[in-house]
Amino acid sequence: MSRYIIKRLLWMIPVILGVLVIVFTISYFTPGDPAMSMLGTNYTEESYVALREKLGLDKPFLVQLWNYLWGLISRGDLGTSYIGSVPVATEVVHRFPITFKLGIMSVIVTTVIGVPLGILSATKQYSVADYTVTSFALIIAAIPNYVFALLGLLLFAVKLGWLPVSGVDSWKSWVMPVAANSFGFIAVIVRMTRTSMLEVIRSDYIRTARSKGLRERLVIWKHAFPNALIPIVTVIGTQLSFIMAGSIIVETIFSIPGMGTYIMTGINSRDYPIINGTVLLLSLCICGMNLIVDIAYAFIDPRIKAQYESGRKRVKKAKIPGKAVP
Amino acid sequence: MIITMLTGGGEEQIESLENAARRHTQAGDVFRRLLNNKLGMIGLCIVIVLLFLTIFSGVVTKFPYEEQDFGNRFQFPDPVHIMGTDNFGRDIWSRLVYGGRISLLVAVISVAISLTCGVILGSVAGYFGGKVDITIMRILDILMAIPGLLMAIAVSAMLGSGPVKTAMAISISGIPASARLIRSTVMSIKSNEYVEAAVATGSTNRRVIFRHILPNVIAPIIVNSTLGIGGNIMAISGLSFIGLGVQPPTPEWGSILSSGRPYLRDFWPMIVFPSLFIMLTLFAFNLLGDALRDALDPKLKK
Amino acid sequence: MKSIRKILCVLLALMMVLALCSCGGKSGGETAPAPGGDKEPAKTDDGGKVSEQTDDGGAASQAADGGAAVETAAKPETVTIGVTGWLGRFLDGAEPSPNLTACDGVYDSLFLIDQSTAQPYSYILSDWGYEDELTFKMTLKDGITFANGDVATGSDLLFSVLQHIERGDISASSLGDLDLDNCKADGNVVTIKWKDPWGPGLTSRNIYLFDESWCREKGWDSYDWYEAPNGSGPFKVTEYVTDDHITLELRDDYWNAANEKFQVKKWIIKYYADQSTMYMALEKGEIAMAGLSSTDYTRLVNDTSSKLKIKTRAMGTTLNFFFGAVNNPIFQDKAVRQAIAHGVDWSAIGKLAYGDLYEPADSIVSTKSPFYKPQGVYEYNPDLAKQILADAGYKDGDIKIHLFEMNGAHKDFAEAFDYYCEAIGIQVDLEFGDVTTGLMTWMQDGGSDAGWYNNINGVANGDPHESLNCFYIKGFTWCWWYQPEVQERFLKAAHTTDEASRSEQYAELQKLAYDEYIIVPICECMSVIGYDPEVFSEAEMNAYTYTSAYTLLHALSW
Amino acid sequence: MNLLEIKDLSIHYVTKEGTFKSVNHVNLELEEGETIGLVGETGAGKTTTALGILRLLQSPPAKIVSGEILFKGTDLLKVSEEEMQKIRGNDIAMIFQDPMTALNPIMRVGDQITEVIELHNDCTHEEARKRMRNMLELVGINVERAREFPHQFSGGMKQRVVIAMALACNPHLLIADEPTTALDVTIQAQVLEMMNELKEKLGTSMILITHDLGIVASNCDKVAIMYAGEIVEYGSLEQIFHHISHPYTEGLFNSIPSLDKDVDRLKPIKGLMPDPSALPEGCKFNPRCQYCTEKCRTTEPPLYEIQPGHLVRCLRYGEEGQ
């Protein structure tokens, strides 16, 4: 198993390099020029050429790409943002934890609310609970997160005064952003849990478990749920990348100085170092999440674990009985 | 048929067997089950109504969608303007009805694209495993790591901003998610006996995937894609939040919603009605998706 | 029976969600404007980050050197105010543009304009004046210390003026062409010499006193311009978190002892990315003052229950629509310009821009500027427009206009403009983009056939020349103010030092723009501030007339 | 006193397409240590009866219309769910047909057995594991393999695990629903032989559900032939095998190829099982019965006792029969 994890970690390096090269190319070829947005109304021909010279934008594409990658690998230098001439690394150091914290908390909230609701509506299929939960999840999914955020702020912060309007200091200021960021995704988790639970509940080993005299709650949580985990864990894994993207709007509304607002500034003013730096961090995060999800597969389903360990092209299902498993 | 010959059954038995066989063709069966699923029918009706509204928008609306009237802006809903007027004094109802055409088009195309690529990549990676699985998964990691918004901006900036191009821009960020979901389901299905049997009877890999594995992956695919439709419409409003996506003169649910943002507290119709339409679409497609999944997967019937 | 139960559950779920929304929405609902009336909220130039005009609550100041002390409320030790403009750094010129409120607390301006008398005065100069048309002499008070302890000398003063030219930012061109080798400083006395007479002189420019040695040592790209600027003003920056807040604290070694009666020792300037969140923070009392959008203004005016007070003021600039005759030859024909001027309902665009704050303007120069000369308003008369077009021999669809917009608010104006033009048979094709692509398209000829402009370089500090700043911009060669004839007249006026003849020439310029080029003045650019009366007394705020005298932090700290 | 008495049990599936009468008025008795074979074609209601006893039927479609199931005197249908859970796995255990899917694929085999032991007897985890290990030995599985997962076992081995799990708390009654159908013949014999040994050793009585008369012959004391949800013939092994009375039983025996007689064509029973939602009038077997008379199509035959303990539901054995 550990061999598999090391292999995956080694694989992360080419992935991240791949991400960087692709993002660098995309931002390079996207119309729009950082030098222009920096000069703004002070634009004059010579100052424009001088600025491109200073920023190294006039060099051919490959040279720029190589300088950036070499700088990153050798000195871990993320480059300096064109606009604010502030090293990206310093900005990212105190912005990334905020977005990461927001992201992880949102994923936890969606899972903690989504999964039990999904199981509830699966076990009591076609009942009152099932329809209310499904429709509630669908309605929440249809409300845009900024409408939800603003109304929530209006109600809880201004009218009732329980929560602060913005800021990141006390735990209270995290309640609304996390809620706004995660409510949109609860529907996805609820429906996916419901579907996979429905498939599992009708299988024979559930009937065997019942015939062993287990209480219904135990049958659901100890036998049915673990078997339904695979698609649920996958969806939770993919939520993180959507949540990170969604956080751009939530961070704007709650004025949270996180990666979301930072990448927006980068994209708005085509500030390549910012875009590359933030995407590097985001991809590290997402690759890490994917790795965790894949490892979770192995813990959930021994058959997949066997497939990882054997690593052979096509695994024959039935092993020769008695052969010791490594 | 063969059995009756063997046992030499009576006339009326042959009759009952024949029409039983006819009645139970696979598609007919699915359609019949779909019909008697009440909620599925509600979903289907909403979809049909929506399609009717958007296609025949000329008939249904009194005002042309672009007619501005600065005299009465921010009109609350009244018999003249069913859904009130927006900040330009245009009739919200006709803009939403006309805009629906593009929103549904973009939503459906982007889900279709991300689904087809997702299914192909996911099933190939899930089924073959080993080297193929690793390379595909890592490519998907790359695609997933690039923030959807940046990808959408880059693509729509390069391709220009028509509905179809926006759909493509949005669908790209959806591909990894559906691919990973399908891969994980295929991996757990692959270890079942009937897949083993299909391989044993000498069918090619392609046949096994499309004839045996994919039909059993229908449930997660449908659930994922029906939810995707709503999600994509919201993605367009995300794009127009930063000025890309469908450009203002042409109305579209997502851009109407994001243009209503500053008036959230003072003039609710500009936010509520677009969200209502998006919610209806999301609802309809999900009810339909559920009914379809239950109909297609007999085991799931109660 | 079963299916009815199902539908009931769906409705139940709907109720639960609507309950959440309605209690949020309802409370908003009751402050909704009276239905139907023309008092509708409109979307102003959103205080987005990269907007030409920094609408960040502007800067405010007390009447000349703390004259008739206005009774002030007892102030808390720390006051927080909200801004939507980007926090930026403490160095004006290139992006990111500085946050003026913070700058005015950290730096001392050479000259401040008393709004009531439009005469300059200064705290750091003992005396100043023109010796002759070409030379200007000023002496720096002694004992002025910077935050890092350096004592300010004449060379710092000279450096503060010339550094604009060294960096080539927008203010450089508004200083006229200086005779650099004859500009010198000995001791505390600085003489500035021009090559030829320069009307606006120095007194009207907002120039901050810099510490030359510190600037040379740090260089213009150092991070200190964010975190620890070195100014001679009363406050110093103790904390700077990008996109979050700046904390300014009173310097204990502040050289101008006369102001030791500062009640407020600490200012926190909190950045809000979203206007509606800032408004809620103001409502809740988390911040004491914030700039309002026109929708906020309308809501607050109708909201009798709120304790917040409003202060509106004109920014000193106007919003205008102009034709790019260079790009689109069709505009050479004056009849077309006149037809459009009458064919579009400019009040609609004014309402779109400022909602209830809309004040029609009748000249490219703002009513607040001493050079203001009313020209007149183009009344909305579509039949007249069609008539003019017909007489000029244009049939429907002959005229095609291409309009490129990048700024949020201007996109709305363009949509309204498009509708009205189509109504009189002129075809408009709209193209939208964002700033980075936009600026390039706008720069080149043929990028856009027409456009809107308000105060292009965004310095809103009550300087009388505010409305004329656009003339210093070199980039937009196809715009009307850059036509050779207009530049000639403007520079001729700028080079006359005699006040009367200069304002006469500016008046002609306004007439030329209005009648000849048909530049349509739409409305006065307004700025609204909402504040908490317990922190800033109403009397104090009314007295705060936004002269360049000691600004917000200084004036309202007493 | 009988271990198990089923009186007039009827179970119907109520769905939109119609009500399926799967079990109609079944009566059965079973003494301590005795094994009864429940024989019949698929769809005769055997499994439904078994699931009815353990109340494992999914309630929305299935409904127990009438009858009592007395297990050691208590009626299982009246007992509360908690009470029933104590009985399941402890007093009554069940083995299902397809071993391939009967085990939880992601739980270790050993744990699945330990779970039922710990559930029903409050013993320490260690004790439970010890009992699990000797159960595995009893069913002939190498003890080290307790840590392995179901997918690492062949069909036969999995059925042994299922049996070990069922007998772990040595229940009084074991219901085996076609335990060996999914296995090939050689494994079938081993499994059945092992089940009998365990039955002897633990003194468990068993209901063996099968459609294979060969298995019934070598394992059961009493036999009940079921057709269309009813018991058509009931009696001891000897009575059923040597005094075949009901036409359906006769048809069953004829459709088995006999070793000694040289027959070139099989004689299967003509026709198909009746549709449970539209059962024929009178004797349920009449459409397929070769001795069918006009009376058979109208009156429903009761169970006649032609010999002590040998009951037949056929009018031919009524008063006017021979």
- Domain ranges in chain C are 2-308+532-556, 316-525
pLDDT at B133 over 80: yes
Give phi and psi for D11, each to the nearest 5.
-130, 125
In order, the DSSP letters of C413-461 are HHHHHHHHHHHTT-EEEEEE--HHHHHHHHHSTTS-SEEEES-TT---S
How far is D244 from chain A, CA to nearest CA, in Å? 35
Answer whether B93's CB lies under 8 Å from B83's CB.
yes
Which tokens hold the place of A236?
């939770």
Inter-residue contact B108 to B114 (CB < 8 Å): no
What residues of C are in contact with residue A138 (Cβ under 8 Å)?
13
- For tokens 């304790």, what's the residue? C307
C-alpha closest to that of A311 among A48, A39, A5: A5
Supply the pLDDT for residue D130. 92
Which chain B residue shows the shortest CA-CA distance from D274?
B13
Between CA D169 and CA D120 the distance in angstroms is 7
Least confident stretch, C165-174, C546-555, D161-170, D264-273: C546-555
Torsion of CA C435, C437, C440, C444, to 10 degrees: -120
pLDDT in tens, B23-58: 556 667 777 777 777 878 888 899 899 989 888 888
Q: Is the pLDDT of residue B290 over 90?
A: no
Give me the mean pLDDT over the D51-69 stretch.
Answer: 86
Q: Is B293 on the interface with A (CB under 8 A)?
A: yes
What's the CA dihedral at C470, C472, C475, C479 to 10 degrees? 40
Q: In chain A, which residues have their Cβ closer than 8 Å to the Cβ of B180? A: 234, 237-238, 290, 293
Q: In whole angstroms, how far apart are CA A131 and each of A126, A134, A138, B301, C8?
A: 7, 5, 10, 16, 9
Which residue of chain D is at minimal alpha-carbon distance from A297? Answer: D106
Segment C494-542, tens digit of pLDDT: 788 787 888 888 888 888 888 888 888 888 888 788 888 888 888 777 7
CA distance B79 to A141: 31
Residue C458 pLDDT > 60? no
Q: How far apart are CA C289 and CA A217, in angstroms?
A: 56
Mean pLDDT of D266-294: 81
D46-72 mean pLDDT: 87
Query: What pLDDT shows up at residue C7?
Result: 62
Burial environment of residue D1 by CB neighbours within 10 A (0 to 12, 13 to 18, 19 or more): exposed
Partner D, chain A 186-225, Cβ-Cβ below 8 Å: 203-205, 207-215, 223
- What architecture (CATH level 2) is domain B37-62+90-300? Orthogonal Bundle (1.10)
pLDDT by residue (tens digit) across A64-118? 888 888 888 887 778 788 777 778 888 888 888 888 888 889 999 999 999 999 9
Which of D104, D151, D157 is closest, CB to CB, to A209?
A: D104
pLDDT at C116: 66
Q: Return the pLDDT at A64.
A: 85
**Cβ-based contacts of B241 with chain C (< 8 Å):** none
The more confidently predicted of residues C286 and C555 is C286
- pLDDT, tens only, A116-158: 999 998 888 778 888 888 888 888 877 777 788 888 888 888 8
- B108-131: average pLDDT: 87
Interior angle at CA B213, CA B212 and CA B218, nearest 5 = 110
Query: Does the beta carbon of A128 lie under 8 angstroms from any beta carbon of chain D?
Result: no
Q: Which of B296-300, D106-110, D253-257 has the lowest mean pLDDT?
A: B296-300
How much is the ipTM here? 0.77
Contact criterion met (CB < 8 Å) for A42 and C93: yes
Residue C71 has pLDDT above 80, yes or no: no
Separation of alpha carbons C293 and C530, rounded Å: 10
> In terms of pLDDT, which residue wins out, A89 or B12?
A89
pLDDT for the residue numbered B1: 33
| Domain extents in chain B | 37-62+90-300
User: Class of the C316-525 domain?
Assistant: alpha beta
Say yes or no to pLDDT of C18 above 60: no
Say whether pLDDT at C210 is over 80: yes
Residue C445: pLDDT band (50, 70, 90) is: low
User: For B104-122, what is the mean pLDDT?
Assistant: 89
Neighbours of chain A (3+ CB pairs under 8 A): B, C, D
Q: A88-123 and A128-142 helices cross at what angle (nearest 10)? A: 150
pLDDT at residue B22 greater than cutoff 60 = no
Residue B106 pLDDT exceeds 70: yes
pLDDT of C40: 29
Q: Which residues have C-beta within 8 Å of that of residue D101, sequence separation ≥ 6?
A: A203, A204, A205
Over residues A219-236, mean pLDDT? 89
Question: How many helices (H) does chain A have, and how many strands (E)?
Answer: 14, 0
Residue B241 has pLDDT above 80, yes or no: no
At B194 the three-state DSSP class reads: helix
Give the Cβ contact number of residue C433 at 10 Å: 22
> What's the confidence (pLDDT) of residue A110?
92
Neighbours of B231 (CB within 10 A): 23
For residues B16 and C235, give the distance between their C-alpha atoms in angstroms, rounded to a whole number.
Answer: 96
> Which residues partner with D64 through β-bridges?
D11
Return contacts of A25-28, CB within 8 angstroms, 24+ apart: A25/A61, A25/A65, A26/B146, A26/B150, A26/B151, A26/B154, A27/A270, A27/A272, A27/A275, A27/A276, A27/B150, A27/B154, A28/A61, A28/A64, A28/A65, A28/A272
Interchain proximity B286–A138, CB inside 8 Å: yes
How confident is the model at residue A111, as a pLDDT? Answer: 92
CA distances from D97 to A127, C118, D180 (A): 31, 100, 7
Are C28 and B268 within 8 A, CB to CB? yes
The whole-angstrom separation of Cα A33 and Cα A35 is 6
Confidence of residue D126 (pLDDT cuts 50, 70, 90): very high
- Which value, in Å, is the radius of gyration of the alpha carbons in chain C? 26
Report whether pLDDT(A240) > 60: yes
Smallest CA-to-CA distance from C380 within C344, C413, C352 is with C344
Report the distance separating Cα B208 and Cα D191, nearest Å.
34
Least confident of C62-76, C183-197, C319-333, D214-228: C62-76
Calculate mean pLDDT across residues D177-190. Answer: 81
What mean pLDDT value characterizes chain D? 85
Top pLDDT among C402 and C553 is at: C402
Question: D 148-187 residues with CB below 8 A of A?
Answer: 148-149, 151-154, 157, 162, 165
Nearest CA among C211, C434, C142, C478 for reference residue C329: C478
Mean pLDDT to the nearest integer, B165-188: 83
C137: closest CA of chain B, how far (Å)? 50
Q: What is the pLDDT of residue A114?
A: 92
Contact status of A151 with chain B (Cβ, < 8 Å) = yes
* A242-260 tens-digit pLDDT: 787 778 888 888 888 888 8
Tell me which chains share at least 3 CB pairs under 8 Å with chain C: A, B
- D121 at the A interface (CB within 8 A)? no
Task: Give the model confidence (pLDDT) of C270-302 as tens digits.
Answer: 888 888 889 988 988 888 888 888 888 888 888
Number of separate helices (H) and strands (E) present in chain D: 10, 12
- pLDDT at res. C35: 31
pLDDT at residue number C27: 35
Amino acid identity of residue C266, one-letter, is K
pLDDT at residue C152 greater than cutoff 70? yes
Query: What is the predicted pLDDT for the residue at A77?
Result: 78
Q: Tell whether B193 lies on the interface with D, counting CB pairs under 8 A.
A: yes
Low-confidence winner among A104-113, B16-25, C134-143, C483-492 (lowest mean pLDDT): B16-25
Residue D249 pLDDT greater than 80, yes or no = yes
* pLDDT in the model for residue C457: 42
Per-residue pLDDT band for B243 (boundaries 50, 70, 90) equals: low
Contacts of B241 in chain A (CB under 8 A): 146, 249
By mean pLDDT, which of A268-277, B22-31, B38-47, B287-296 is the weakest?
Answer: B22-31
Percent of chain A topping pLDDT 70: 94
Q: Are C503 and C371 in contact (CB under 8 A)?
A: yes
How confident is the model at residue B21, as a pLDDT? 53
Percent of chain B past pLDDT 70, that is, above it, reads 86
Considering only alpha carbons, which residue of chain C is nearest residue A269? C436
**Residue D190: pLDDT band by 50, 70, 90 thresholds?**
confident
Residues of B in contact with D60 (CB under 8 A): 302
Average pLDDT over residues D195-215: 85
Measured distance CA(B202)–CA(A275) in Å, rounded: 51
CB contact under 8 A, A143 and B275: yes
The three-state secondary structure class of C332 is helix
> In terms of CA atoms, which chain D residue is nearest residue B10?
D271
All chains having 3 or more CB pairs closer than 8 angstroms to chain D: A, B
Identify which has the larger pLDDT, C138 or C97. Answer: C138
Q: Give B-chain residues touching C419 at CB under 8 angstroms.
A: 66-68, 88
Q: What is the mean pLDDT of chain B?
A: 78
For chain C, percent of residues with pLDDT exceeding 90? 2
Q: Tell whether B279 is within 8 A of chain C (Cβ).
A: no
Q: Which residues of B touch A138 (CB under 8 A)?
A: 279, 282-283, 286
Question: For A303, which of D87, D102, D105 is closest by C-beta distance?
Answer: D105
Mean pLDDT of the A158-182 span: 84
Q: Are D202 and D169 in contact (CB under 8 A)?
A: no
Judge: domain C2-308+532-556, CATH 3.40.190.10: yes
